[in-house]
Amino acid sequence: MAVLEKNFLISLAEDAVKSALKLGASEAEAYVYDGQATNIGIELGQISKTHRIIDRGIGIRVTINKAIGFAYTNIIGDPQAIKDAAAQALSAAKASKSDPDWYSLPQNNPYPKTQDTFDQKIVDLSPEDLVKIASTLLDTASEVDKRVFPIEGGVGSGYAANAIANSNGIAAFDRGTITECSLATLAKDTNSTTPVCFEFDASRNHQLDPLRVGKEAAKLAISALKSKPVETQTAKVILTQLALQDLFAYTLMIAIKADSVQRNQSPLKDKIGMQVASENLNIYDDGLYPGGLRTAAFDGEGVPQQKTKIIEKGILQNFIYDNYAAKKDNKESTGNAARAEYLSTPSISTSNFHIIPGNKTPQQLLAEVEEGFIIYYLQGAHSSNPISGEFSVVANPCWKIKNGEITHPCRAIMLAGNIFELLKNITIVGANERQMGSIVAPWILAEGMKIIGK
Amino acid sequence: MKDILQKITATATAKFGANYAEARAQQLAKTMFILKEERVEAAKQGIESGVAIRVLVNGAWGFASVGSLDSSILEEAVSDACRMAKLVSQRLKTPIKLASAPTVEDHVHAKPKKNPHSIAMEDKIKTALVINTASLGFDSRIKSCGLDYMDLMGTNFFVNSEGTSIEQDKLYVWARITASAQAEGTFTFSREEIGSTAGYELFDDQPPEELGQKVAQRAIEQINAKPPKGGKAPVVLGPNVVGVFVHEAFGHLAEADLALSGGLLDSNMGKKIGSDLVTFYDDGTLEGAFGAFKYDDEGVASHKTLLIKDGIVSGLMHNRETAQKFNTQPTGNARAEDFRVEPIIRMRCTYMAPKDQTLEELLEGIKDGYYFKSFRGGQASLDGTFQVGIQEGYEIRNGEIQAPVRNASISGNTLETLHMVDGVGKDFTIDPGRCGKGQTAFICDGGPHIRVSEVIVGGSA
């Protein structure tokens, strides 16, 4: 991969800020992105496609009389295109309305050192290297059992660098790498098809484990064969990381955003210092988690990322902020302004949402369940009520637990409830932590879950 | 532009050994803004321009995307795509082939009554503010409201090594409107999406005040709604829910790539999997509809595709690759979100054909059930399990629509549920939406009111 130089990206950002100020902006900020990715794709049981992308661009945010305008372009090789984007950001600001709550763009602050976010080996990976990993992944899965069909998956490597500059003196650069592999499988026998089963591995360093991913994806599909219907009941449920992430992403992780709180959209408003979850639950939003998929030195508006305590022993401690929401509450940003690269203005988002592990192994967690279910994936979590936290979703695949043992897969069951009730009913937090998209979490055990079956 | 793209495809076939090559260029301009409680969060404009190159070398796909028209960058991209495709082709068991498609040369012009780009951003914001104001003013219990607006205009160019060359204008106008209410510790939420490929006249068809009030009213109604009882129940689904039901419970399974992936329909072609009342289409030709277009991103003309007729599986949605595998014609369902990604099989406008019943007739005879009027999200799985979230629903008691219920969802298995459709209305409505399948696609779906004798209702009561 040929990547753009640090100084070049910073100077692009600084020049754009200067252009915007010259055109009459009261404040200006420019965010430059250089992203590259290579992917080897598995489809219908074979490695059959490749994907390579270079995506670069600049997003310019300006204010005039507290009205905010933004423009982006992906043509960064042409200084005139960037000047045009600056002018467009100004015209957008002029068309917009003043926001009396606007304080300012962030000030310059020292940045923390991040750990394990960049690995030159990933940048240097050749397509041949990726094909080798993909072959291992596919071969391993195919060897587990003939009834397994690898539907899709792949292996990818990515590099992303960003530079940010603003009229308050911020001028910073950060870069990171990621490599990932994944496999979606299903198993078929004479008269049944399993739901799609999925395994993956992702890392900021070059240390993928395609053997584990291939084997687990296949084993999961086989164990989902021959599902049985379930009666409607109230039961103990173990949620694995993917299910937990799905459920939290559309409820809890929205409710802790300062923006939701300020707009009266969060049931957690006025609950700081109060018990909102079981005593077993400790959660940090950790923008500096070593090797975290969302770890970076600074956020989308150049504020240092940090570790923020969200819930300690079930007591709500903090919300997460960008600079705008923080100033509205007379606080400092927690470094949680996220961006869709150069294409969007910053908005509040969790970084690595870290559910602190307990000390029970998966076996010990299962042993706590005389009668219950273990859920791997949820269907329809995005249809949850983002404000009340109510959900009504399908657990699929899901397995029955009896006397501490997983006995058999269940036909898709429905799970209905409210996330803020569920938080109070988490009786045990497991020890088996892993990273999964935006969360770092172990399995959890929740009691009193409403299960709707046949 | 055509010359640049033809040069790329020629280089791929002549110099780098591609058996097939296509190049897509995109030049787009977007306008967006977000309102929250009558506050403009940011007004935004953007320009995106880039090229996607896709090649078939010895039966394997190579794809490269760059945000540039620079000839040396394009040459490197086409070389990369061909080299990588060749590399993975070495292990292929089943080389990919393409069904033939007619060679096309065409220029498709957008003809909006109101061109979104000739309307000043100030005026768009003013219209949006009317919506926000209408929501906030509807009831003092409305605590927040939001609006995301986006319009997009530009041109897509498509050239392939078989001689097809298409220049096609793109135009989308879209908005998502939300409101939340709060009273006595109860939080409710309501959303609505509007969208069109016709033009900014969308806002003439749907007066802004009414939109704002409609979203607010739903949030207010929910305050006193109870959670539904979980379990099996007969339901009447409104067109808005029917659309998502068709999309999730059947549409995804009828995408030929998913059918090949082990979905249920591959083995059910020509078989009866639903009641006689079930006829579904996926139609890319409805002018102005959010999911409509003339040519897909493989240069194939968009069709009206019959998926299931009187309960019998009749067709699937294809790209050129799956059409070859099924020995049939491509249907114009290959869509790419933008130049960064390759085209995959996506729905366009998916709907159920109306029959002859009135809503009253459908409700009649239901002693204890639910009327689900408006959806919030939905998801399908290849094993035929579907889920559709409900944002607006009511109890049905003795054939009458009664008290509202909140945060329900419905689920079931497609092969069982389609047999349970025992009443289909004569009304017909289509709504715009967005579908996620790795990429986002603008789609629409809809149909008449229908009755289903049994689905699983997910409720916490």
| Nearest alpha-carbon partner for A440 in A428, A453, A430, A454 | A430
- Give the C-alpha distances (Å, rounded to integers) separating A159 from A183, B83, B387: 22, 21, 36
pLDDT bucket at A126, cuts 50 / 70 / 90: very high
Distance from CA of A113 to the nearest CA of B (A): 32
Domain boundaries, chain A: 6-223, 233-452
Kindly state the DSSP code that residue A282 receives in the 8-state scheme. -
Instruction: Give ipTM to 2 decimals.
Output: 0.94
Tell me whether A230 touches chain B (CB under 8 Å). Answer: no
Contact B409 A81 (CB under 8 A): no
**Number of Cβ pairs < 8 A linking chain A and chain B:** 294
Residue B380: both structure tokens together: 């399908």
Residue B382: both structure tokens together: 């290849």
Tell me whether A71 touches chain B (CB under 8 Å). Answer: yes
Query: Is there a contact between A255 and A389 (Cβ–Cβ < 8 Å)?
Result: yes
Contact A383 B41 (CB under 8 A): no
Could you give the maximum distance between any two Cα atoms of chain A, in Å?
72
List chain B residues with CB under 8 Å of A383.
Answer: 375-379, 387-389, 409
Distance from CA of B356 to the nearest CA of A (A): 31
Element (H, E) at B431: strand B429-437
List chain A residues with CB under 8 Å of B33.
Answer: 92, 96
Tell me whether A226 touches chain B (CB under 8 Å). Answer: no
Q: How much of chain A exceeds pLDDT 90, in percent?
A: 95
Tell me whether A88 touches chain B (CB under 8 Å). Answer: yes
Cis peptide before A397 (omega within 30 of 0): yes
Tell me whether A388 touches chain B (CB under 8 Å). Answer: yes
The pair phi, psi for residue A146, each rounded to 5°, is: -65, -25
Residue B115 CB coordination number (10 Å): 15
- Tell me: pLDDT of A168 over 70: yes
Q: Are strands B344-345 and B349-352 parallel, antiparallel or unpaired?
A: unpaired
- Give the C-alpha distances (Å, rounded to integers) separating B272 from B52, B251, B260, B413, B422: 41, 16, 19, 15, 15
Tell me whether A193 touches chain B (CB under 8 Å). Answer: yes
- How far is it, in rounded angstroms, from Cα B202 to Cα B172? 10
- How far is it, in rounded angstroms, from Cα A177 to Cα A122? 7
Query: Is there a contact between B93 and A48 (Cβ–Cβ < 8 Å)?
Result: no
**DSSP-assigned beta bridge partners for residue B49:** B27
> How many degrees, rounded to 5, is the angle at CA B42 between CA B37 and CA B47?
140
**Over the stretch B71-106, which tens digit does the pLDDT of each residue have?**
999 999 999 999 999 999 998 999 999 999 999 999
- Tell me: pLDDT of A206 over 80: yes
**Over the stretch A356-369, which tens digit does the pLDDT of each residue have?**
999 999 999 999 99
- How far is it, in rounded angstroms, from Cα B235 to Cα B458? 13
Tell me whether A149 touches chain B (CB under 8 Å). Answer: yes
- How far is it, in rounded angstroms, from Cα B161 to Cα B98? 13
Region A175-186: mean pLDDT is 97
Query: Is there a contact between A12 and A77 (Cβ–Cβ < 8 Å)?
Result: no
- How far is it, in rounded angstroms, from Cα B427 to Cα B351? 12
Say whether A206 sits in a helix, a strand or coil: coil
Tell me which amino acid residue A410 is: C
- How far is it, in rounded angstroms, from Cα B169 to Cα B157? 9
CA dihedral B370, B374, B380, B383 (to 10 degrees): 20
Measure CB to CB from residue B80 to each of A52, A131, A450 and give the nearest one. A52
**Over the stretch A212-232, which tens digit does the pLDDT of each residue have?**
999 999 999 999 999 999 999
Residue B4: both structure tokens together: 């640049």
Measure CB to CB from residue B262 to each of A186, A264, A394 and give the nearest one. A186
The pair phi, psi for residue B314, each rounded to 5°, is: -115, -25
**Over the stretch A56-86, which tens digit does the pLDDT of each residue have?**
999 999 999 999 999 999 999 899 999 999 9
What confidence score (pLDDT) does residue A1 get? 65
Measure CB to CB from residue A193 to each of B182, B264, B377 and give the nearest one. B264
**Over the stretch B348-391, which tens digit does the pLDDT of each residue have?**
999 999 999 999 999 998 999 999 999 999 998 888 899 999 99
Contact A263 B389 (CB under 8 A): no
Tell me whether A148 touches chain B (CB under 8 Å). Answer: no
More confident call, B263 vs A399: A399
- How far is it, in rounded angstroms, from Cα B98 to Cα B104? 16
Measure CB to CB from residue B37 to each of A55, A232, A263 and give the nearest one. A263
Interface probe, candidates A49, A129, A270, chain B, greatest B C-beta count within 10 A: A49
Contact A264 B143 (CB under 8 A): yes
- The pTM of this model reads 0.95
Counting as low any pLDDT under 50, the low residues of chain B are none
- How far is it, in rounded angstroms, from Cα B339 to Cα A53? 10
What confidence score (pLDDT) does residue A412 get? 83
Separation of CA A270 from chain center: 27
- How far is it, in rounded angstroms, from Cα B160 to Cα B296? 13
Query: Is there a contact between B175 and B37 (Cβ–Cβ < 8 Å)?
Result: no
Interface probe, candidates A387, A393, A396, chain B, greatest B C-beta count within 10 A: A387
Domain A6-223 has CATH 3.30.2290.10: yes
Contact B387 A383 (CB under 8 A): yes
- Give the C-alpha distances (Å, rounded to integers) separating B104 from B18, B159, B165, B166: 21, 9, 6, 7
Separation of CA B416 from chain center: 24
- Tell me: pLDDT of A119 over 70: yes
Mean pLDDT of chain A: 96
Query: Domains in chain B, please, with CATH?
Result: 2-223 (3.30.2290.10), 231-458 (no CATH)
- How far is it, in rounded angstroms, from Cα A63 to Cα A29? 9
Query: Is there a contact between A304 and A179 (Cβ–Cβ < 8 Å)?
Result: no
Contact A74 B50 (CB under 8 A): yes
